[in-house]
Structure 1
Amino acid sequence: MLSCGFATSVWAQTSIKLGYTGIADFAAGFVAKDKGFFAKHGLDVDFVQIAINSNIPAALLSDSVQVGGPTPTVFLQAVAGGLDLVAIAGTTVTSKSIKGVGVVAKTGEPIKSAHDFEGKVVGVPGIGASLQVLFRQWMKEKGADASKVRFVEVSFPTMNDVLKAGTVDAVVTASPMMDQIIGTGTGYNVASFLSELPEGKPTMLYSTTREWAVSHPTEVVAFRTALAEAASYVESHQDETRQIIGNYIKLPPAALQHVEIAPPAPVLAAAQIYWWIQVMQGQNMLETFPADKELVP
């Protein structure tokens, strides 16, 4: 229960619709909502699930949501395309310890290495999304040619069914969907490639329009503070956090018990985003990028 110490903030709450996709990276946000950290700091946050991550910038622009959780690549492509977005917080970062992000092949497919994906159809949660970019980077570092892979967009909730149907040969996915696919026998993990890439790079961002951030400075600070408090709670309450994740991502109880919770990292620095710019330019995804843009206000 919320303590009386911050009950007065409830009377002056700012309503925020927050667009997210169905992955556990948003665990600290879910906890901030369910455990009252957002409410404590005067925010009434309503989570709105968006199937395809690349649709989040448009939702922000239309004010369907005021804050969204795009991948860094979706965020940067939107900015490069002229949308005036900013990043106000992080979710999680890459880490050698994370095994719950990887590429899962359909059971029966003879895929064992990066080279085996050449000529295959691989489902990704968004064309140009971070997981696709990181997968291509992993293939490149393994000496394989990602240009020989046919990528198709598959939303997280449909990955198990699409893989089972044989529409794709593999999917690039993350916990908890990764756990469900493997747990049901639909697929097997070929590589947890995130553990083989540089550490400390943001996997998802909390973003908004610059106009909203400038006109709501108090809310931005409150949002960051609530996430920081929730992050500390996540680290010391892993089992409860898994149950809270289940309120936002529908999974069988058995799969939910095995969801990997990456260390939350709500504090975001501009330098972390600029690493992504370099990677994307190396994959010919960003021809030019406005150097004077303040990405993290």
Structure 2
Amino acid sequence: MKLRSSIVGVLALALMAVAGCGGAGEPTKASAGGSGLEKAKINIGMMPVVDTAPLQIAMDKGLFKAEGLDVSMVKLAGGAEAIPKLKGGSLDISFGNYVSFFAASAKGVIDLKIVSDGFQSAPKTHVVLVSKDSKIQTMADLAGKTIAINTKRNVSSMLVRVAAKAHNVELDEDKNFVEAPFPEMEGLLKAGTVDAAQVVEPFGTFIGQNIGARVIWDTSQGPTADFPIAGYAATSEFAKANPNTVAAFQRAMSKAQALAADRALVVAAIPKYTTIPAAVAGSLAIGGFPTTLNATRLQRVADSMKEYGLLDAPLNVQDLIVADK
């Protein structure tokens, strides 16, 4: 148990750490492998989580290099950090969750374009946990209860609210949710400070092992089955000024996402860019890695955001997508 707890602690540090990053690099002439690139050296924002395994696979397999791209991966503490760094130009493209990207775009915080899909939910990747002795058995029992999530008015609370509504329960962002980092949720459940917690891998696995927490709902089913979680975005200005560079990134990522269908490759990649040991990586639930951008799929996110008050007006996702080339 001490080993698992220490792993959770190390993961907490990894999620909070931010690697220093320099400028996004001056435009360079394309190499022979990337003829026509407006900019060969690019900075990509990423997070040390399972979701970004295809980026590591692309680096390992030389997929970016084959396209003439010289990629530097910049570690971010969280998706919210991507927005100012994209806007400021220290990142050219960044990984982030769709709820954050769509909300920032709709509010005029930043003019974004989605250039690659990244990650979608799968069984056990996003679950709702309760303590082993809790009287809560189903989502219907969460009426009037307190649920820990990592960020209010974002993908975590939305997934829980969608699931609760399917069980005829309406949850309020302010009354029913409390924010807490994923690594702290085990302690909150154990102490009874919260009634439930929405967690992602690897925390779902670790908390279950450490304190016997029970899964009462897997959000990768019902109305949020195969739900689009995250992708890669650039500013509209960057996408317009560097169409060949963006297309080269898309081609490399499409190949990497396809390779990530091989679980063994993902498991092997995880310890290279996270603090998750190889022995642990093999036991984790791993989501899906879509190979193409599909506006219909991503529209599910925007429509849910509008329904649950995370968008003031409907958002046409097609307008934000840079078509794969």
Asked if these proteins are the same fold (TM beyond 0.5), I'd say yes
TM-score (norm 2): 0.77
Structure 2 match to 1:62: 88
After superposition, residues 196-207 of structure 1 pair within 5 angstroms as 196-199=222-225, 201-207=227-233
Q: How does 1:110-121 map to 2 (within 5 A)?
A: 110-121=135-146
1:66 to partner: Cα distance: 2.1
Distance change in 2, residues 1:292/1:114 (3 Å)? closer
Give the whole-Å Cα distance in 2 for the aligned partners of 1:90 and 1:292: 13
Matches within 5 A, 1:216-235: 216-235=242-261
Please tell me the residue identity of whatever aligns with 2:243.
P
Pair 1:153–1:19, CA change in 2 (3 A): farther
User: Is 2:104 aligned against 1:92?
Assistant: no
Q: Given residue 130 of structure 1, which amino acid in structure 2 is its aligned partner?
A: V
Residue in 1 that maps onto 2:275:
250
Question: For the aligned residues, what is the CA RMSD?
Answer: 2.9
Q: How does 1:118-267 map to 2 (within 5 A)?
A: 118-147=143-172, 150-160=176-186, 163=189, 167-185=193-211, 187-199=213-225, 201-236=227-262, 238-267=263-292
Question: Helix, strand or coil: the match of 1:133?
Answer: helix
* Compared CA separation, residues 20 and 53, structure 1 to 2 (3 A): same
> Structure 2: which amino acid aligns with 1:87?
I
Question: Structure 2: where are the runs of 5+ without partners?
Answer: 1-30
Which residue identity is paired with 1:231?
Q
Residues 51, 155 of structure 1: 8 Å contact kept: no
* Deviation per residue, 1:129-169 (Å, 9 max, x gap): 22321211011111112128532333445544555565544
* CA offset digits 1:54-112 (Å, max 9, x no partner): 332223212232222222211111011102011111113345xx232211224443332
Paired positions, count: 288
Give the distance between the partners of 1:279 and 1:288, measured in 2 at CA. 12
**C-alpha distance in structure 1 between counterparts of 2:317 and 2:249, whole Å:** 25
- Matched position secondary structure for 1:277: helix
Contact 1:14 1:42 (C-alpha < 8 Å) held by counterparts:
yes
Q: Alignment identity in percent?
A: 24
**Greater mean alpha carbon deviation, residues 204-213 or residues 117-126:** 117-126
Tell me if the contact between 2:270 and 2:276 (Cα under 8 Å) persists in the aligned partners. no
- Where 1:203 maps in the other structure, the secondary structure is strand
CA contact under 8 A between 1:99 and 1:195: conserved in structure 2? no
Partner secondary structure for residue 206 of structure 1? strand
- C-alpha separation between the residues in 1 aligned to 2:317 and 2:158? 24
2:73 and 2:147 mapped to 1: Cα distance?
Answer: 29
Q: Verify: 1:271 aligned to 2:296, yes or no.
A: yes
Q: SS of 1:220's equivalent?
A: helix
Cα distance in structure 2, aligned partners of 1:167 and 1:50: 29
User: 127, 132, 146: which is aligned to 1:102?
Assistant: 127
Q: Is the 8 A contact 1:164 1:186 kept in 2?
A: no
Distance 1:168 1:47 in 2: 36
**Distance in 1 between residues matched to 2:227 and 2:141, nearest whole Å:** 27
Whether contact under 8 Å (1:16, 1:46) holds in the other structure is yes
The runs of 5 or more residues in structure 1 that have no matched partner are 1-6
